[in-house]
Structure 1
Amino acid sequence: MLYKGKAVEVLGTKEVFGEQVAWIRILENNDFKQVALEELEHSSSNFSLAHLRFIAIAAKIKDEVAKKNILAPYESSLIPLPHQILVLEKVMQSTQNRFLLADEVGMGKTIEAGLILKELKLRGDIKRILVIVPKSAMLQWQSELKEHFNEVFHIYDSELITSLARTFSNINADQEFNFWEQHNQIIVSTDALKPLERRQGWPQERIDEYNKYRMEAVLNANFDLVVIDEVHKMGGANQLVSRYLLAQALCNTVPNALLLSATPHRGKSDHFRRILQLLDSDAFASEELPEIAELEPYVIRTEKRLAVDYEGNKLFNERETERFDVYLDDERHRRQKALYNAVTDYVIKGFNTARRTNNQATGLIMILFQRLVSSSTAAILSAMQGRLERLRNAEDDELEDYQSESDATADEPLDTFDLEGVYANSAGALVDEDSLLQQLIAQAQECLRVETDAKAEAFISKYKVLQQEYSNPDLKTIIFTEFRTTQKMLKELLEERGYRCAIINGSQELDERKAALGKFRNQAQILIATDAAGESLNMQFCHIIFNYDLPWNPMMIEQRIGRVDRIGQKHKVKAYNMLTDNSVDQRVYEVIEEKLTNIIEQLGIDKTSDVLDSAIDLKKVNKLYLQSLLDPTKFEFAGDKWLNEIKGKLRDYQSTEGILPKVQESEIEYKKAADVKHSPLPVWLEDLLVQYCAIHNGKVERNLAGIYDIQLNGLKQRVTFEQELALSEPGVEHLTLQHDTIRRILSDINEYNYTHGIPVLRSRNNDETPGIWSIWQISAQNSAERKVIYHSYFVADNGKMYAAYANDIWNRILSGNHQLDLVDVCSAEGIESLITQEKEVLRSYHFNAFQNLEADMSAMMEARRTKRVKSFEFQASRINKIGIENIRFSKLKRLQAEHDKWLAEFKASKKVIPGVKHLLSVRIDG
């Protein structure tokens, strides 16, 4: 039946005051309406092969979806890997949705979290989601959730929260607004949300208001799922640390929780227990470390060595890091050497002056200058010119003034530099800094005018060698630098030499970075990137990296390499750490890279592991650099002390590594992922669209790249069924099962009506069995659940059922290779006896199919009831731990009311109602 041109299902009719009224369900959007019966019209059947194939394909797609245990992999623009599908299945099969995803680094925990939240949404279990991540990862999470799962998340950063709090606090309304309820899917940084106990210069009233619009408001916003990335950073030194208080309050309030960390234990058993108590404080209340069997219902960890692709091959290749020494020639690079020494002397004197006057800002700037002069002449020149200008204008010089030089400066907290405890030296202080800066600036300008940067020369020579070695003149290579001025210098120099370059830095918006990445992938040979590229972009299509200057944080080097050493990398990754022959950087490099690497290899620890990030205290690394700079004679002692401390921390890590339950190799079934990769669904969806356009007088054109231009019902669309195309082509939509266009097309199937006649298909080879082939939808449903199955049947003229033959016809019609022609449409009266016979034969088959569905539904309903009761008990126990009485009381009251309502609806929905819908019948004329 049709209502205003839309396919509908008539649920019932009745007479009201002499008017015939129908209760209908609109198939396109599942809306229910009560309409006048006379407004309904019978759909006409203008049979054609396109029409028959459309119904056959649509039914096959619906049947395939109905049989799937999990749908999220088919709704993603990526194909999940075997271990990621296993994680999704483990979570979905559990009686609770509170998990710690503890896969090793680089295994795609973000993808796993995306799959889980997508699956929970598809099942209708969750609607409101809060994702808490480090500030630097917010854009990456937002981008990956949109690109891979078509889930739009809104970023709430500190500035937005402060602005909203100010606005909402000024609204004089009868009912208080909670701006955390304005969006259902939110990403927020950890530190933007954590509560304050005190802040210098703030009265208690302002602190209370700050907390009210953050933690308190979030707790009242009724999120269904909280995702906490890098949860090991929330564990804190004790249970009173603000980050832990935030995580604890949220996990006590929100029914579903996903915690992500490669190193939740961090070598400390008390820290690990606190993380586990976020999942279930009762189950992990003991002071003892839990047994593996106790952890298995909550913790999933897959090791890199088990990661395989869709054919069962190992995923991760080897990587190689090589020290690349750049020697400055006494003649060719005389001015660069002299400038480095002069700036180093200036930095030492400036640092001494800062210490004597207790001016931390100047001390930090001097440290930055040392890093700049190690990077390039252009970088230190720009910074010195800026400092001289501010000195002459009597302006205070702050680290933020150099944000345009370094992407790292803005996010580098001041407390990572401790100016105390570094052995003193006998160098003097700054005198007449203005004149000294003028001399240094002139020296740098002369150096730039006469000499080519030594590291740039060395890179060009090495790149030429690599082009020959790989037999690839367009070899993709990334140069990483901390500083934008160095980046600019390199781009200009390399382009002068004829190389094609792209750049990425922190001044660009995410869309600009993606465009630059696209240029690098499709056109450029060399990408020159600051560490902004290490935050939100993956570059597996490149495998050669040059670290032009070395960040003082050794984990930053690993993060840079990690942009290319990821799942999907097909080559051995080669990273070159460029180091000039200056003693300051060389001394520290030998400690934090070479000696530390030896220790890690001796202990058998993966250098890319988060544990290294956990073990390294950046304050102490910075002190090593300062010691190397200010008094090299004390450096060896300071370096050995630091290495011994790191070694102890790494041993602590190893002592707790064995307590995590690990996924076994036998559990990872690569064929399940291969089924997703090779699923016929995209092919069927493609054919479905083509047939739909054919029977609705639409136009569809496909170009060689696989992009379709569609004109249908006055609307134009550019679409593709390939996720890679959709990601790389702006304005092209990726059509999946949940896309509105596909959902609308799949809903446009009316119930078959014999009165319109029966299409007759005749074999081109005259070798078909005569009979009636049909497709049916059998359903079992109550008010809470609905299970559906689609069957094809063939009842021969002799009254026998041939199931295998029925499926063979269905598959042939699907493929288009059916060798059948539509030759006629006969009336039902003409074959009335055959139709009657078909109905009699099919009655028992329909009933058996329904009974199977009913049994499945009963088991599913009981599992749902058990899970719901456990969830209620868990939520009630968590809410009882909330310290704020009014929040605790209101949440308990609301939870009990929701639970009582659910139980009542559950009891009322136990009655299962059968349904049989006839979709198509075809006369096969042998």
Structure 2
Amino acid sequence: MLYKNKIVEVVGTKEIFGQKLAWIKILADNTFLEVNFDELEEEKTVQSLPFVRFIAIAAKIKEEVAKKNILAPYESSLIPLPHQILVLEKVMQSSQNRFLLADEVGMGKTIETGLILKELKLRGDIKRILIIVPKSSMLQWQSELKDHFNEVFHIYDSEMITSMARTFSNINADHEFNFWEQHNQIIVSTDALKPLEKRHGWSDEKVDEYNKYRMEGVLQANFDLVVIDEAHKMGGASQTVSRYQLAQALCNTVNNVLLLTATPHRGKSDHFRRILQLLDPDAFAGEGLPNINELEPYVIRTEKRLAVDYEGKKLFNERETVRFDVFLDSAKHHKQIALYNAVTNYVIQGFNTAKRTKNTATGLIMILFQRLVSSSTAAILSAMEGRLERLRYGDDNSIENYATDYDKSEDNDIESLDFDGVYASAGEGIVDEESILCDLIEQAKVCLTTEVDAKAEALLIKYQELQKLYDNKDLKILIFTEFRSTQKMLSNYLKIKGYRITTINGGQDLDERKAALTDFKNNAQILVATDAAGESLNMQFCNIVFNYDLPWNPMMIEQRIGRVDRIGQKLKVKAFNMLTNNSVDLRVYEVIEEKLNNIIEQLGIDKTSDVLDSAIDMKKINKLYLQSLLDPSKFEFAGDKWLHEIKLKLKDFQSTEGIIPQVKEEDIEFKKAAEIKHSALPKWLENLITQYTFINDGSIKKDAFGVFNVKLQNQSKHITFDAEIAINNPGIENITLQNDWIKKILNELIEFNISNGIPVVKTINGNETPGIWSVWEISAQNYFDKKATYQAFFLADNGKLYSAYANDIWNRLISDTTEFSFIESQYKIHEETYMDCLKNVLLSSYQNLDAEVSEKMIMKKENKIKSFDFQKSRIEKIGIENIRISKLKKLEEEHSLWLNEFKRNKKTLPGIKHLISIRINE
């Protein structure tokens, strides 16, 4: 039936004062209305082969969805890998959604999170989601969730929060606004959210207001799921650290929690327990390291060595890191050598002055200058010109002044400087810095215009060798530098040499970076990138990395190489660490790269990036470089001491690594991923839309690129059923199960009316068994749950039912457009006799569903009570009294309401819908 052109089902009728009224269900959105019966119209359905195929395909899709344990993989633009599907299944099979996802680096924890939140949304379990990530990862998270899962998240950075706090605090209203409730899906950085205890120059009232619009506002915003990336950074040194207090309060407030980290324990039992207490404060309230049995309900970890593809083949290839020495020739590069020595002497004098005056800001600038001169002449020239300018017109006492030179990221930022234990010579400090800088700038300009950069020249020669080795003139290489001025010099040099170059740096927004990445993938031979590219972009199509200058934090080298050494890399990754023959960098490199790697190998640890992230203290690395610079005679002792400390840390790591429950190799079933990869759903959706278009007098055409142009009811759509096509072509709509058009079409399947006769079809060969084929929706539902199945039956003229034959006809109808032909639409059958033949099989199907629903209701009640007790225990730990009382009251009211509803509405009701019947003629 139709009501105002909407397809409806008539639930019941009644007559009042001579008027016939109907209680109807609008199928598109499952809403109910009471209307005048005269307003209803018969839907005019023209029976045809496209109509028969449309119903058959729609029913097949609904049956496929009904029997799936998980749906999220079918709703993403990528095919999840076997270990990612295993993580999703483990979370969904658990009675609680509070997990620590601890896969090794590069295994796709962002994808796993996207799958889990998508699945929870599809099931209606969550609506409001908060994701807390490092500032450098915000855009990457937003991009991947949109590209892969079509989930739109809004970024709340510090500036936006401050602006909204100012705006909302000025709103004079009876109801206080909470801007954290304005969006359901939010990404925020850890630093933007964490509370303050005090701030220099701020009153207690101002600190309270600051916290009110951050931590308190978030706690009151009633999120359903909180995700914390890099969760190990939340642990802090104690429970009093503001980051931990934030995480603890949030996890006590929100029912669903995902913590992500590749290094959960870091060799420290107290730190590890603090992280685990975010999931369950009671289960992990003890001391020391918990055992595997305690951890298994909460922790999932997959090692790289177990990662396989859809055919069961290992995902990760070998990686080779090579030291690439660049020797500065005393004749050819004498000006570069002289400049390096002169700048180094200036840095030593400047650092000694900074230490004597306890000027840490100048000390940091001197550290930066040493790194700049090791990078390139262009880099140090730009920085010195900037410093001279600022010294002439005011103090230059902040490293932030060098933001345009130093393309810092959250992970490679220069740490605050500790002078303790750093040698300062007895020699003079800087007397006339402006004069020194003028001389150095002139020296750098002459060097830049008269000599070719030694490293640039060596890199070009090595690239040409690699082109020959790989027999590929378009061989792609990724070059990393910390400094934009070096990036500019190098890209100009390579362009002049005739190479196709593109660049990425921190001054570009995410769209610009993506455009550069696309250019690199499709056209450019060389990408010259600062560490901004190490934060958000994956480049598995390239396998060669040059570290043009080496960051002082060796973890950054791992992250750079990790841009290409990722899932999907087909070739062996090769990384070249470029070093010139100057004493400062060489000495430290030999310690932090070569000697450290030897220790790692001796201990049998192959998780290099995980270990480094846990063990490295950048303040100590800074001191190693300074010791190499200021007093080389004491460097060997300092280096050995540092290595000894690291070795102890690594042994601690090794001793505690075994407590983490690992995913077993036999648990990773690659065939499940292969099933998703080769799923028929996209093809069925394509056939569904094709038949729907035909029966509604529209047209559909597919172009050579896989894009369909659909014209229907005076509207035109450009669609595809391939997610990759949609990603690469903005404006093309990707059609999936969750597309509103698909949901509307599938929801509007109406009861088939056999009183006017049924269609008659026959096959081309005419060898079918004559009889009636039909498809039915059988359901069992109550207020809380619904189970449905879609079944095909074939009733032969001899009165027997053949289930296998029924499914064979179903499969042929949805896949073969030529096998069947349409004869007529008025074949009459006796409805009562027909239903008598089917009633036993329909009843049996319902009884199976009823048993499933009843079993699930028992589990649902048990889980609800457990969840209530758990939430109550967590909320009672919230330190902010008004929030604690408010949330406890709300929780108890909701729980009481749910129990009453459960008691009243747990009875299961049967449902039968006849979708289609056709006569198969002999």
Q: TM-score, normalised by structure 2?
A: 0.98
**Cα shift readout 1:441-497 (whole Å, capped 9, x = no counterpart):** 222222221221111111111111111111111111100111111111111111111
- After TM superposition, the structure 1 = structure 2 runs for residues 367-406 of structure 1, keeping only pairs within 5 Å, are 367-406=367-406
2:892 corresponding residue in structure 1: 896
Shift of residue 756, structure 1, vs aligned partner = 4.1
Q: State the superposition RMSD in angstroms.
A: 1.6
Q: How many residues align?
A: 922
1:909 corresponding residue in structure 2: 905
The verdict on how the C-alpha distance between 1:20 and 1:380 changes in structure 2, with shifts beyond 3 A counting, is: same
- After TM superposition, the structure 1 = structure 2 runs for residues 522-561 of structure 1, keeping only pairs within 5 Å, are 522-561=522-561
Shift of residue 316, structure 1, vs aligned partner = 1.1
> Hey, what's the Cα distance between the residues in 1 that align with 2:409 and 2:791?
64
The answer as to whether partners of 1:262 and 1:609 remain within 8 angstroms in 2 is no
> Hey, what's the Cα distance between the residues in 1 that align with 2:650 and 2:733?
48
> Hey, what's the Cα distance between the residues in 2 that align with 1:232 and 1:80?
25
Secondary structure of the residue aligned to 1:392 is: helix
Letter in 1 for 2:879: G
The verdict on how the C-alpha distance between 1:855 and 1:367 changes in structure 2, with shifts beyond 3 A counting, is: same
Shift of residue 440, structure 1, vs aligned partner = 1.6
- Where structure 2 has 5 or more consecutive residues not aligned to the other structure, the ranges are none
1:118 corresponding residue in structure 2: 118
Secondary structure of the residue aligned to 1:407 is: coil
Shift of residue 33, structure 1, vs aligned partner = 2.4
Equivalent residue in structure 2 for 1:845, among 841, 846, 864: 841
Secondary structure of the residue aligned to 2:80 is: coil
Shift of residue 768, structure 1, vs aligned partner = 1.0
1:448 corresponding residue in structure 2: 448
Q: Does 1:879 align with 2:875?
A: yes
The answer as to whether partners of 1:597 and 1:607 remain within 8 angstroms in 2 is no
The answer as to whether partners of 1:130 and 1:186 remain within 8 angstroms in 2 is yes
The answer as to whether partners of 1:615 and 1:650 remain within 8 angstroms in 2 is yes
2:107 corresponding residue in structure 1: 107
> Hey, what's the Cα distance between the residues in 2 that align with 1:457 and 1:903?
75
**Cα shift readout 1:239-298 (whole Å, capped 9, x = no counterpart):** 111111111111111111111112211101111111111111111122243221121111
> Hey, what's the Cα distance between the residues in 1 that align with 2:464 and 2:5?
66
Letter in 1 for 2:773: W
- Where structure 1 has 5 or more consecutive residues not aligned to the other structure, the ranges are none
Larger displacement relative to structure 2 (401-410 or 297-306): 401-410
Shift of residue 408, structure 1, vs aligned partner = 0.9
The verdict on how the C-alpha distance between 1:16 and 1:595 changes in structure 2, with shifts beyond 3 A counting, is: farther
> Hey, what's the Cα distance between the residues in 1 that align with 2:676 and 2:557?
35
The verdict on how the C-alpha distance between 1:341 and 1:368 changes in structure 2, with shifts beyond 3 A counting, is: same
Letter in 1 for 2:23: W
> Hey, what's the Cα distance between the residues in 2 that align with 1:586 and 1:714?
71
Letter in 2 for 1:762: K
> Hey, what's the Cα distance between the residues in 2 that align with 1:154 and 1:511?
16
- After TM superposition, the structure 1 = structure 2 runs for residues 116-515 of structure 1, keeping only pairs within 5 Å, are 116-408=116-408, 415-515=415-515
The verdict on how the C-alpha distance between 1:453 and 1:32 changes in structure 2, with shifts beyond 3 A counting, is: farther
**Cα shift readout 1:176-226 (whole Å, capped 9, x = no counterpart):** 111111111111111211111122221211111111111122111111111
Secondary structure of the residue aligned to 2:718 is: strand
The verdict on how the C-alpha distance between 1:479 and 1:413 changes in structure 2, with shifts beyond 3 A counting, is: closer
Letter in 1 for 2:535: E
> Hey, what's the Cα distance between the residues in 1 that align with 2:847 and 2:280?
39
The answer as to whether partners of 1:81 and 1:309 remain within 8 angstroms in 2 is yes
Larger displacement relative to structure 2 (811-820 or 616-625): 811-820
The answer as to whether partners of 1:709 and 1:718 remain within 8 angstroms in 2 is yes
2:26 corresponding residue in structure 1: 26
2:606 corresponding residue in structure 1: 606
Letter in 2 for 1:843: K
Shift of residue 607, structure 1, vs aligned partner = 4.4
The answer as to whether partners of 1:354 and 1:362 remain within 8 angstroms in 2 is yes
> Hey, what's the Cα distance between the residues in 2 that align with 1:319 and 1:271?
32
- After TM superposition, the structure 1 = structure 2 runs for residues 852-863 of structure 1, keeping only pairs within 5 Å, are 852-863=848-859
Shift of residue 428, structure 1, vs aligned partner = 2.7
Letter in 2 for 1:648: L
1:673 corresponding residue in structure 2: 673
Letter in 2 for 1:764: I
> Hey, what's the Cα distance between the residues in 2 that align with 1:472 and 1:229?
40
Q: Does 1:563 align with 2:563?
A: yes
The answer as to whether partners of 2:136 and 2:409 remain within 8 angstroms in 1 is no
The verdict on how the C-alpha distance between 1:411 and 1:400 changes in structure 2, with shifts beyond 3 A counting, is: farther
> Hey, what's the Cα distance between the residues in 1 that align with 2:470 and 2:820?
54
The answer as to whether partners of 1:350 and 1:366 remain within 8 angstroms in 2 is yes
The answer as to whether partners of 2:412 and 2:553 remain within 8 angstroms in 1 is no
Larger displacement relative to structure 2 (444-453 or 116-125): 444-453
The answer as to whether partners of 1:14 and 1:20 remain within 8 angstroms in 2 is yes
Moved over 3 A (4+): 409-416
1:805 corresponding residue in structure 2: 805
> Hey, what's the Cα distance between the residues in 2 that align with 1:278 and 1:409?
28
The verdict on how the C-alpha distance between 1:177 and 1:880 changes in structure 2, with shifts beyond 3 A counting, is: same
The answer as to whether partners of 1:408 and 1:482 remain within 8 angstroms in 2 is yes
Identity of aligned residues (%): 69
Letter in 2 for 1:143: S
Secondary structure of the residue aligned to 1:716 is: strand
Shift of residue 413, structure 1, vs aligned partner = 5.7
The answer as to whether partners of 2:387 and 2:396 remain within 8 angstroms in 1 is no
The verdict on how the C-alpha distance between 1:288 and 1:31 changes in structure 2, with shifts beyond 3 A counting, is: same
Secondary structure of the residue aligned to 1:143 is: helix
Letter in 2 for 1:46: V
Letter in 2 for 1:922: I
Letter in 2 for 1:275: I
- After TM superposition, the structure 1 = structure 2 runs for residues 739-888 of structure 1, keeping only pairs within 5 Å, are 739-816=739-816, 819-828=819-828, 832-833=829-830, 835-888=831-884
Letter in 2 for 1:857: V
The verdict on how the C-alpha distance between 1:903 and 1:377 changes in structure 2, with shifts beyond 3 A counting, is: same
The verdict on how the C-alpha distance between 1:16 and 1:356 changes in structure 2, with shifts beyond 3 A counting, is: farther
Shift of residue 813, structure 1, vs aligned partner = 1.0
The verdict on how the C-alpha distance between 1:178 and 1:503 changes in structure 2, with shifts beyond 3 A counting, is: same
> Hey, what's the Cα distance between the residues in 2 that align with 1:253 and 1:855?
35
1:67 corresponding residue in structure 2: 67
Letter in 2 for 1:80: P
The verdict on how the C-alpha distance between 1:775 and 1:409 changes in structure 2, with shifts beyond 3 A counting, is: closer
Larger displacement relative to structure 2 (225-234 or 686-695): 686-695
Shift of residue 744, structure 1, vs aligned partner = 2.2
2:916 corresponding residue in structure 1: 920
Letter in 2 for 1:625: Y
> Hey, what's the Cα distance between the residues in 2 that align with 1:635 and 1:150?
53
> Hey, what's the Cα distance between the residues in 2 that align with 1:673 and 1:361?
53
Shift of residue 353, structure 1, vs aligned partner = 2.0
Secondary structure of the residue aligned to 2:278 is: helix
1:705 corresponding residue in structure 2: 705
The verdict on how the C-alpha distance between 1:361 and 1:374 changes in structure 2, with shifts beyond 3 A counting, is: same
Secondary structure of the residue aligned to 2:488 is: helix
**Cα shift readout 1:668-688 (whole Å, capped 9, x = no counterpart):** 111111111111111111121
Secondary structure of the residue aligned to 2:408 is: helix
The verdict on how the C-alpha distance between 1:83 and 1:882 changes in structure 2, with shifts beyond 3 A counting, is: same
The answer as to whether partners of 1:387 and 1:397 remain within 8 angstroms in 2 is no
Letter in 2 for 1:125: D
**Cα shift readout 1:865-899 (whole Å, capped 9, x = no counterpart):** 11111110000111111222222211111100000
The verdict on how the C-alpha distance between 1:337 and 1:4 changes in structure 2, with shifts beyond 3 A counting, is: same
